[in-house]
């Protein structure tokens, strides 16, 4: 399996910034630790509903799981980043079918 195949999310970074373990995130989101760990490491690509649950478990906006808060980007640049991520997801999903 291609490690970090879907490394477009920053779940681990956000959780660490909040001093929350991936195990705690999994429990709060109602997910298994193994699955949540794989998602946070970019091995598995979650459904949107799963990302919503993870964002709620971390008490952050779902967009925080995609965009780095370390960069000072304009809204236009952020939109371009999200569009790029979504296009990459669509490509990867269509390649799997």
pLDDT tens profile 45-70: 888 889 999 999 999 988 888 865 55
pLDDT of the residue at 79: 77
The pTM (predicted TM-score) of the whole model is 0.67
pLDDT of the residue at 64: 87
Q: Is 78 left (phi over 0), alpha (psi -120 to 50) or beta?
A: alpha
pLDDT (average), residues 21-26: 97
pLDDT of the residue at 82: 76
In CATH terms, the fold of domain 11-96 is 434 Repressor (Amino-terminal Domain) (1.10.260)
pLDDT of the residue at 1: 42
Q: Backbone phi, then psi, for 25, in 5-degree steps?
A: -60, -45
91 or 67, which is more confident? 91
- Which residue ranges make up each domain of the chain? 11-96
């Amino acid at each position: 399996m291609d490690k970090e195949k879907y490394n477009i999310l920053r779940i681990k970074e956000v959780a660490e910034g909040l001093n929350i373990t991936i195990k705690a995130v999994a429990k709060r989101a109602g997910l298994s630790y193994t699955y949540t760990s794989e998602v946070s490491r970019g091995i598995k690509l979650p459904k949107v509903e799963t990302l919503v649950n993870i964002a709620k478990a971390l008490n952050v906006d779902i967009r925080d799981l995609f965009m780095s808060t370390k960069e000072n980007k304009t809204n236009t640049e952020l939109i371009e980043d999200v569009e790029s991520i979504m296009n990459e997801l669509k490509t990867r999903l269509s390649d799997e079918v």
